[in-house]
Amino acid sequence: MKRESNLGDWQARSLRRIALAACAPADRPWVEALFRELNFIEGAWPRASWLLGTARLVAEVTKQRFGAMLSLRLRVATAVAFCAALLSVLISRAGYEGLGVDDDVFLILALVCVAAPAARLAIARRDHGAAGPSSPGPP
Amino acid sequence: MARKPNSSRQTEALLAALLHSGPGWRYGYDLSRETGLKSGTLYPILMRLEAQGWLETAWEDALTPGRPRRHLYRLSAAGSAEARALLESTQERSGRLSFVPREAGAQ
């Protein structure tokens, strides 16, 4: 019984760390609050059920956090890639190969497709991290 | 037609529970037991209500050394008024809820 209890505590502690790391600072008090309630829940099944809810809460807040970043990132990347591909086709059609620009456009396209989403993600993360907590943090 | 905010069954159940307790603070687990909502449903609703200004939150004062402080919830004044109006309109429309708590202190 003691061993089960310790195992549960260990799992809860690990899950808490992962959950807090995955969430934005503004959402952490909520995750912390949810985990603290675990101390007052009796029984293995209610505790497991409560922990399952934690996973859902984390999924919800991380979906909001990263979903917004990803959609923006993909939109920018798609627009840039489309423009670059169009330019590449036009140059190819025109038969212009001076200075090897035809090949370079494809190379630039690949670089932009990687760099634009990465830059977008970095900006979004910085902006998101700058937001303060929505409620006083846990003591 | 756009759906009214906070008009899901789960949110209404939570609002009814919070209204029922009046100005007193509630724990998350108690609200979960009273409403039958799982934590994964309850907390996103609580977060949304707080973001809308309907809910006040606080950390419990230290009562016993070694006992973790818990997060507390209650409806704000604006939230109480909005929730009462919402639940009354829902009750009139469909009779889904069996009661709408009256103003705190009024019996």
Q: Using an 8 Å CB-CB cutoff, list residues of chain B that contact chain A.
A: 27-29, 32, 38-44, 46-47, 50-51, 57-59, 62, 67-71
CB B54 within 8 A of CB B75: yes
pLDDT score for A23:
80
* CA closest to B40 among chain A residues: A53
Q: Supply angle C-alpha A26, A61, A8, rounded to 5.
A: 95
- Beta strand residue intervals within chain A, DSSP E: none
The per-residue pLDDT for range B29-58, each reduced to its tens digit, is 999 999 999 999 999 999 999 999 999 999
Average model confidence (pLDDT) for chain A?
Answer: 69
Q: Do A135 and B50 touch (CB under 8 A)?
A: yes
CA distances from B20 to A24, B3, B53, B83, B87 (A): 32, 25, 19, 11, 12
What is the band of B105 on the pLDDT scale with cuts at 50, 70, 90? very low
| Rounded Cα distance, A109 and A13, in Å | 45
| Rounded Cα distance, B57 and B42, in Å | 14
| Inter-chain Cβ pairs, chain A and chain B, closer than 8 A | 74
For residue B94, pLDDT beyond 60? yes
Nearest CA of chain B to the CA of A35: how many Å? 9
The percentage of chain A sitting over the pLDDT mark of 70, rounded to a whole number, equals 40
* CA closest to B41 among chain A residues: A53
User: How many residues in chain B?
Assistant: 107
Q: Do A36 and B70 touch (CB under 8 A)?
A: yes
Nearest CA of chain A to the CA of B92: how many Å? 33
| Rounded Cα distance, A139 and A121, in Å | 31
What is the band of A96 on the pLDDT scale with cuts at 50, 70, 90? low
Nearest CA of chain A to the CA of B69: how many Å? 7
DSSP collapsed to 3 states, B6-25:
CCCHHHHHHHHHHHHCCCCC
The residue-averaged pLDDT of A17-21 equals 81
pLDDT score for A73:
64
The residue-averaged pLDDT of B22-27 equals 91
Placement of tokens 């899950």 in the chain = A15
CB A19 within 8 A of CB B40: no
Report phi then psi at A137, rounded to 5: -70, 165
The residue-averaged pLDDT of B72-100 equals 82
The per-residue pLDDT for range A28-86, each reduced to its tens digit, is 899 999 989 988 888 888 888 888 888 888 888 877 666 666 666 666 665 666 566 55
What is the band of B78 on the pLDDT scale with cuts at 50, 70, 90? very high
pLDDT score for B34:
93
State both tokens at B76.
């704000």
Report phi then psi at B53, rounded to 5: 85, 10
For residue B92, pLDDT beyond 70? yes
| Rounded Cα distance, B18 and B22, in Å | 7
Q: What is the dihedral of CA A44, A46, B55, B6, to 10 degrees?
A: 150
The ipTM estimated for the assembled molecules is 0.79
For residue B73, pLDDT beyond 60? yes
* CA closest to A52 among chain B residues: B40
